[in-house]
Structure 1
Amino acid sequence: MSDSDRDLKSRPDPDALLALAERGGRGKLTVFLGAAPGVGKTYAMLMRAQRLKQEGADIVIGLVETHGRSETAALLEGLEVLPRREVAHSGRTLREFDLDAALARRPRIIVVDELAHTNLGDGRHPKRYQDIEELVDAGIDVWTALNIQHLESLSDIVTQIAGVPVRERIPDTVLNRADEVLLVDLPPAELIERLREGKVYLPDNARRAADNFFRLGNLTALRELALRRTADRVDDQMVDYLKQNAIEGPWPAGERLVVCIGPDPLSERVVRTASRLASGLNADWIVVSIERADREAGDGEAMRQLDETFRLAEQLGAETRRIVGSDFVEEILKLARRENATQIVIGARRHWFPLSLFRASLPDALAKRVSGVGIHLVTGKIEPAAKPRRRSKQLLPEGLGRAFGIAAGTVGLATALGVLIEQVIILQNISLLYLLAVLASAVYAGYFAALAAALFSVVAYNFFFIEPVGTFTVAEPHEVFALVVFLAAAALAGGLASRIRDQAKTARGRATATQALYDFSRKLSGTANAEDVLWAAATQMQATLKRNAVLLLPEDVDIAVRVAWPPDTELSVSDMMAARWAFEKKEPAGNETGTLPNSPFQFRPLMSPHGVVGVCGFLQEGSPLDINEERALAAILDQTAIAVDRARLSRESLDQAAQLEGEKFRAALLSSLSHDLTTPLAAISGAVAGLRQLGEGMPQADREDLLNSIDEESGRLKHFVANLLDMTRLEAGTINARRDRVDVAEVVHDTVERARKYFPGRDFETSIAAELPLMRGDSVLLEQALFNLLDNADRFGGGEPVSIYARREGDEVVLSVTDLGKGIAPADLEQVFDKFFRKGKPDGRSLGTGLGLSISKGFVEAMGGRIKAESPALRRRGTRISMRFPAEPST
């Protein structure tokens, strides 16, 4: 074995470590498991609680049912007991566990008895195990008690053993997630003796229990189930420990089950059996239902039963799939190969003898084609014809009258047409008219109409066209054979035509749904705003489900309704609590769920690849969604979540781009500050130091040079600080340009004189048109804008003179500054007025801050003018920057 292989084997299992990390911050769940009532689960919990209380632990009794047992009640003394909430039920006032009080008290350990209890009233959860899960999620350790018969996967076995149906059930996943399972065991004989002594139930109840449930055989079987389940749980914990600590196996080979179900009662038993099998094998399992591609989803009752079976499978810890296909065997084998399944679990029904001769059952067909995969058949006492009879009983009265009416009408029309033809010409194949009637009946009314039309056609053809006419007697044997063949052909043709009709109807329905979803996805793809996405989703949901719909998104520290359709849809306080639960816990809440089911709305989280982005709610009360609506809703929610997430990411990307731009500006500003501040300061500091050191000993000319340098660099600093202040005013929007009458020629003259002082080495040429009109503006801002243009021309104008022109063009006054430097690249002409844009090689001066031209643009636009850069300007070189202002009308 190589060193790398040894290293891999010495590393803990990543999945095991991830599962361990996910438990961080959660409380611990301890389940006291027993085979039957009376074995002492509550007594054991309270004994342990008293022991920890004496050690100083913070332990509280949330709820304990003593069932009149004095020794159990005595153990409550000295323990803190939370008050219960009062609930009105069936005219009585009952006391239930107060979840909110427990969360507010927040002890380290809380004892909550009877895990499988159903809550009464309008509590947050319908089941107590859901209350306990919320306590554990809040970081509170919980102790609870459970009898083995209340596990969902074992309820059918317990019913078979004890003959008593189990009403209170919990998903097996609740026990699987428990951190500790303590088996409280008592021999069956001793338990029966306790029952007779009245230590389990009151005398009347104890007598009935002993005659029914508490029999030696029942208790022995239940005890075996409890021992087996506890052993499996301990084995799982040991495997988890070995994986987390990188202790070598041998590890058991991984098993994976594929469980096939359909819309029938046997499927529930198949799921329970598969759950027990998967638990025993410590295997993953997938529950799959296959729907024919050429058929409709089926009647509402069957689809509801299928949905309930899927929900049961999910509660028991299975992964669920729905597949559309025509060849059931091929689809099952394809899924088994894709998922690397080792076993297939499927229900086996008894078929009528005649049908079994012509068509093999699904398990038989699967067994013939499967290879290398085990098959488990689950049988039941379900009559094979019970389901079809019930379905026919529902369907026949609904369409029977119309089917027979169309069949009778088409056959009557064919008969009348045949009689008319017989008056003109005798035809040997007049029976083809009846075949046409059968096909027409099949197309317009389905298979029952086609079958009725075939029977009517045989009777009518015999009565009107077969000798002797007018009777139902057939004289020739070949005519009898012809009638039988015709009946068979008509029934077959009618069946094919009816099937084509059903396929066309199904195809139209699916095409309509697909087109609606396609239109919705196109609408979302062209929408980048989250508000538009929500409106499109709400209207699509309402149109598809015909129910009120609301969409909620995060807002500050809560969620809020952003869109509702119809717009007058309002949510109550309990509705908002369910919506918050769906958002925080990332699971459905509200009607028909395990959390706040009294709300008329059902809320589902909008899950994107980056987490939950919102919540969708729709009116659910009284009318659950069928399978087609569920599929449409799932598609709408998935697309909406992705679109909302895309809009959020788009908004965040814009914010990040703005931040990056701001960072770029800050970096440019700091770079400019480091040069444009330090350079003149260094020159001023050096000049001052020279004057101080040499003083009067320095020649007068040198002293004048140093003083001029100080004056020049001080001017540069003043100009730089002025630019920063001007840009700050522009960014803050505090520039208020005056609207005075401005003499442009005077401003040009003053600005050029100022520039000659600042840039003594540069020649400035001015050309001002005669009778130049006045303009409305701010002379101070205009002078600063023009000076910045001259400063830019001095930096990049080469050694050539800079020209300043002022002239009139139409109704505008145009000022332009032209230099003969290298010019500006065409790609940079639109960017030269951006903040901090610096490019090119100046003539012995620094690049500057990149604010001058941006400030000039801001000042010009504040006065209602326009500014533009052109390059090349003259002789294929140079740059011209022009400012245009509306001319003042002459009076």
Structure 2
Amino acid sequence: MADDDRDDDRKPDTDAMPAGAAEKEQRGKLTVFLGAAPGVGKTYAMLTRAGKLKAEGVDIVVGLVEPHGRSETAALLDGLEVLPRRKVVQGEKVLEEFDLDGALARHPRIVLVDELAHSNPEASRHPKRYQDVEELLAAGIDVWTALNIQHLESLADIVAQITGVTVRERVPDLVLKKADEIVLVDLPPTELIERLKEGKVYLPESISRAVDRFFRLGNLTALRELALRRTADRVDDQMVDYLRQNAIEGPWAAGERLLVCVGPDDLSEKVLRVAARLATGLHAPWLVVSIERADREEETPERLQRIEALFRLAEQLGAETRRVAGTDFVEEILKLARREHATQIVIGARRQRGWMRFFSRSLPDALSRRASGLGVYFVTPEKADKPAMPAAALPAVSIASLRHAALVAAGLVGVTAVAGKLVYQFAELPNISLLFLLAVLGAAVVGGYASAFIAALLSALAYNFLFIDPLHTFTITAPHEVFALVVFVSVAVIAGSFASRIKEQAEVSRVRAAALQSLYDFSRKLATTATGDDAIWLAVSYLQASLKRNVALLVPEKGDLKVAAVWPPDTDLDATDFTAARWTRDKQEPAGFGTGTLPASRFEFRPLMGPHGLVGVCGIEHSDERLDLNAERALTAILDQTAIALDRARLSDESVTQAARLEGERYREALLSSVSHDLHTPLATILSAVRSLRQPAADTTAEERDELLRSIEEEGSRMNRFVSNLLDMTRIESGTLKPKSDWIDVSELIHSAVERARKYYPGKVIETGIAPDLPPIEGDSVLLGQVLFNLLDNAVKYGGEEPVNVYARRDGTDVLISVTDLGKGIAPADIDRIFDKFHRRGKPDGRTQQSTGLGLSIARGFVEAMGGRIHAESPAVKKKGTRIVIRFPIGDRTKAEKAK
């Protein structure tokens, strides 16, 4: 048992298995040649390795390599296939850039793309070269590239500290983390400096400047340590993954998880970089959160833009991002930390001004007091940074808003002072100060907190000047008046603060209620749309009205995208816009303005993902103002609901098509069944009779030969009726049936149809009852005759031995014709189905009648084509039998003759 338990414990960790193994097999592999600084030989090592594989027959090409004038590096290009570069005109310069489309079209097994951190020119598909590499990998092409450690995003601030040089071109840490192989190209700093002085790194005119600024021994040593540490961390990650996947016991890393708090201040960028390095060292996932006040009406564009920039940086560094709304920041942070199982909290901490410590507690200080059981990591600013105001300080106000607040406060206090003075003339009230409290509350409601604060000060001065002895001075002689005035000012400030906060919260609630009502109206209207086109037009109109921006919605069609709706109608999409939209369709990720793919487009395109895949692409034209949080939420909600509506409409169309296909298959099967029964039997009878006539026996009499000829004639007539029924049904369904419009003598037509039926069924009793005053009707006598014969034929087949009755009479403004049999009748569930194509009733003995099932269906088509009505009744007489009733309106023959 012990061995069995040990074996169970040593099973591979399925949670540690590579996610999406099938997808990884199709994806290309990334190899990064990592160095501490330029000149260590990354490109040389990459080309040397490529030459060896080329000699072994591997399909490897050079997409782009920069020798930088180094002859030994350029010599390694001999024998390797080099792809042509893409020429880009930028101003007066012509740049030669990596041709991404050419590499995709060539599709080698391995492609070399140097300088991973390079920034592409404007109008390129991707702003950065590492995004070009990502597209190559997604296409299944292996990529070799080179990178210096100073270009990593999380190390940018440390590199600037060490070298004094700010690196502009950066690569997200996630790119290096996803690399399948990292080849460390190392060179001691002294040898690198010697190479630099020998002119093997830079041109001679740049050597002295490089040695003085960047290529100093201390700088290179520190950068080398960073490169070695980052490579060691990557190797350690790979080893831990291997141990987990193969159930090998070992000292695995502890399960740490970081929660990083950021805001719109300048310190947050440093917080992110420190947290990224901490997460890398701990091998821990990390979540970046920004907390917004739930009682704030809306965020300023500057704050939103700053938060979005921080979130983009965090995602590049490999973090998840999330926004949280609340009033108690500490409680929200701790609640999120418990929900996400965070073990450490990282937050920026600034030094407060001395006098502010007595009035408010900083967020880091409050968090450290309440975060029991969690580690709190404080990131402090540099010494040169000035201490900032705490988060609890008063918000900054503009001069215009301050002027408005002062005018509101002065006006209300002035009116209150005049009113109080008038009241004081008639009665010296001891609590006249309550009037000024009303002024403070009114200022808070109208002008906000600043107005309430100013109103409280002005009210104290006015009350002192007008109502406290000595009057009309600001002197106070009685101590209790001083105390009362202090209490009044305190109460006024507190009451004004509460009133202002209530007003802000009410305004926020009003804005959110309006947004919810708008989304509810959209959902309700969307639920009533019958087609996908209706949902599309409703979505673009609502988006344009909500965002105040041009909107376009495209849907897939025949392997491409079609513009389904734009609003306003004059909105146009150019070639760049369509390219970005196609990228969104293919990759199912945002593209266009503000993204990392084709940012030169005027639109930001987002995929509409339904439950069964992509159903469309929505483009929102960019504007000078960025979308605030409420607009972003409304946009996401509308797009999600539209995607569901389009997917629902698609499924509805598919279900209709599927139902029509199944119905067609049912009809086809019924037709084949009818053909097999109704043609096979008469053909067999005819063929048998013909063989008997061609080879007559000696004892065959003349009567027997006549019987054989009669059977041939009857079966031939039966086949003729069957073919005629098929042709008639084809005419009805194709819409080519054009009935004539003649006056018909119903009595004569009934007698003709009965005589025809008696010839086919000589032993059957058919009785008629026709009213003598039967007026003529307007219609096609040939079609109506066929209808009556079909009804008689149906009645004879299912009526058993009982007679068949045909009646005709006048019923109000109609002529009524009925054909009745006294057979078994029709079940109530089948009464409406007997007019369907290929529907067969059972014989009186319970067996299925061998017929086409087209007779009644053709009768209904002919009758309705002539303007009549037809229906069935069962039971007909004495709880048995079936009656088929036809009604035709009585025409005005005199009026018709006058019209002719």
**Fold-level similarity (TM above 0.5):** yes
- CA displacement 1:601-654 (0-9 Å, x = unmatched): 111111222222111111114332222222221122111111111211222222
1:13–1:246 Cα contact (<8 Å) kept: no
- CA displacement 1:762-808 (0-9 Å, x = unmatched): 32112233354444433332232222222322333233211122334
Q: Which residue of 1 aligns with 2:428?
A: 426
Q: Identify the range of structure 1 (725-734 vs 636-645) with the bigger mean alpha-carbon deviation.
A: 725-734
Q: Which residue of 2 aligns with 1:287?
A: 288
- CA displacement 1:828-859 (0-9 Å, x = unmatched): 33332222334545556625333221121112
SS of equivalent residue, structure 2 residue 20: helix
1:488 deviation in Å? 1.3
SS of equivalent residue, structure 1 residue 312: helix
| CA distance, structure 2, for counterparts of residue 388 and residue 873 of structure 1 | 90
SS of equivalent residue, structure 2 residue 17: helix
User: Superposition pairs for residues 261-272 of structure 1, below 5 Å?
Assistant: 261-272=262-273
AA aligned to 1:224 is: E
1:677 deviation in Å? 4.2
| CA distance, structure 1, for counterparts of residue 672 and residue 19 of structure 2 | 46
- CA displacement 1:567-614 (0-9 Å, x = unmatched): 111111111111111111111111111111111211111122222211
Q: Which residue of 2 aligns with 1:143?
A: 144
AA aligned to 2:830 is: D
Q: Which residue of 2 aligns with 1:455?
A: 457
| CA distance, structure 1, for counterparts of residue 623 and residue 208 of structure 2 | 43
Q: Which residue of 2 aligns with 1:512?
A: 514
* Selected match of 2:438 from 418, 421, 436: 436
Task: Mark the CA change 1:123 to 1:302 in structure 2 (over 3 Å): closer, same or farther.
Answer: same
User: Superposition pairs for residues 315-464 of structure 1, below 5 Å?
Assistant: 315-357=316-358, 359-370=360-371, 372-381=373-382, 383-385=386-388, 395-464=397-466
2:253–2:283 Cα contact (<8 Å) kept: no
| CA distance, structure 2, for counterparts of residue 562 and residue 717 of structure 1 | 53
AA aligned to 2:854 is: L
> Do residues 475 (structure 1) and 480 (structure 2) align?
no
Q: Which residue of 1 aligns with 2:183?
A: 182
AA aligned to 1:471 is: T
Q: Which residue of 2 aligns with 1:857?
A: 860
In the alignment, structure 2 segments of 5+ residues that lack a partner are 895-900
Task: Mark the CA change 1:100 to 1:405 in structure 2 (over 3 Å): closer, same or farther.
Answer: same
User: Superposition pairs for residues 48-87 of structure 1, below 5 Å?
Assistant: 48-87=49-88
| CA distance, structure 1, for counterparts of residue 158 and residue 680 of structure 2 | 89
- CA displacement 1:11-32 (0-9 Å, x = unmatched): 7837736522112433332221
Q: Which residue of 2 aligns with 1:125?
A: 126
Task: Mark the CA change 1:819 to 1:340 in structure 2 (over 3 Å): closer, same or farther.
Answer: farther
- CA displacement 1:224-276 (0-9 Å, x = unmatched): 32223323333444555666778787865544333332332333233333333
2:299–2:628 Cα contact (<8 Å) kept: no
SS of equivalent residue, structure 2 residue 398: helix
SS of equivalent residue, structure 1 residue 86: strand
1:510 deviation in Å? 1.2
SS of equivalent residue, structure 1 residue 695: coil
Q: Which residue of 2 aligns with 1:649?
A: 651
- CA displacement 1:841-881 (0-9 Å, x = unmatched): 55566253332211211122223322222223223332221
Q: Which residue of 1 aligns with 2:898?
A: none
Q: Which residue of 2 aligns with 1:752?
A: 754
Q: Which residue of 2 aligns with 1:574?
A: 576
| CA distance, structure 2, for counterparts of residue 229 and residue 647 of structure 1 | 52
For this pair of structures, how many residues does the alignment match?
A: 890
Q: Which residue of 2 aligns with 1:609?
A: 611
- CA displacement 1:112-157 (0-9 Å, x = unmatched): 2111111113211111111222222233332211112212222222
Q: Which residue of 2 aligns with 1:736?
A: 738
> Do residues 23 (structure 1) and 15 (structure 2) align?
no
1:524 deviation in Å? 0.8
| CA distance, structure 2, for counterparts of residue 592 and residue 181 of structure 1 | 31
Q: Which residue of 2 aligns with 1:874?
A: 877
AA aligned to 1:173 is: L
| CA distance, structure 2, for counterparts of residue 135 and residue 801 of structure 1 | 85
SS of equivalent residue, structure 2 residue 307: helix
| CA distance, structure 1, for counterparts of residue 631 and residue 535 of structure 2 | 21
1:370 deviation in Å? 4.2
Task: Mark the CA change 1:848 to 1:440 in structure 2 (over 3 Å): closer, same or farther.
Answer: same
1:180 deviation in Å? 2.5
| CA distance, structure 2, for counterparts of residue 276 and residue 883 of structure 1 | 89
1:444 deviation in Å? 0.5
1:101 deviation in Å? 3.0
Q: Which residue of 2 aligns with 1:720?
A: 722
| CA distance, structure 1, for counterparts of residue 429 and residue 394 of structure 2 | 43
1:528–1:650 Cα contact (<8 Å) kept: no
User: Superposition pairs for residues 600-749 of structure 1, below 5 Å?
Assistant: 600-681=602-683, 695-697=697-699, 709=711, 711-749=713-751
AA aligned to 1:665 is: Y
Q: Identify the range of structure 1 (755-764 vs 68-77) with the bigger mean alpha-carbon deviation.
A: 755-764
Task: Mark the CA change 1:80 to 1:613 in structure 2 (over 3 Å): closer, same or farther.
Answer: same
Indicate the percent of aligned positions where both proteins have the same amino acid. 63
| CA distance, structure 1, for counterparts of residue 365 and residue 138 of structure 2 | 47
1:531 deviation in Å? 1.2
Q: Which residue of 1 aligns with 2:502?
A: 500
| CA distance, structure 1, for counterparts of residue 319 and residue 692 of structure 2 | 88
- CA displacement 1:720-775 (0-9 Å, x = unmatched): 33323322332222323333444433433333233233334532112233354444
Q: Which residue of 2 aligns with 1:102?
A: 103
> Do residues 522 (structure 1) and 524 (structure 2) align?
yes
Across the aligned residues of Structure 1 and Structure 2, the Cα RMSD in angstroms comes to 3.1
2:363–2:391 Cα contact (<8 Å) kept: no
| CA distance, structure 2, for counterparts of residue 693 and residue 281 of structure 1 | 103
1:890 deviation in Å? 3.3
Q: Identify the range of structure 1 (659-668 vs 842-851) with the bigger mean alpha-carbon deviation.
A: 842-851
* Selected match of 1:591 from 569, 587, 593: 593
Scaled by the length of structure 2, the TM-score of the pair is 0.92
Q: Which residue of 1 aligns with 2:831?
A: 829
2:301–2:625 Cα contact (<8 Å) kept: no
Q: Identify the range of structure 1 (417-426 vs 719-728) with the bigger mean alpha-carbon deviation.
A: 719-728
SS of equivalent residue, structure 2 residue 26: coil
1:775–1:813 Cα contact (<8 Å) kept: yes
SS of equivalent residue, structure 2 residue 718: helix
Task: Mark the CA change 1:436 to 1:823 in structure 2 (over 3 Å): closer, same or farther.
Answer: same
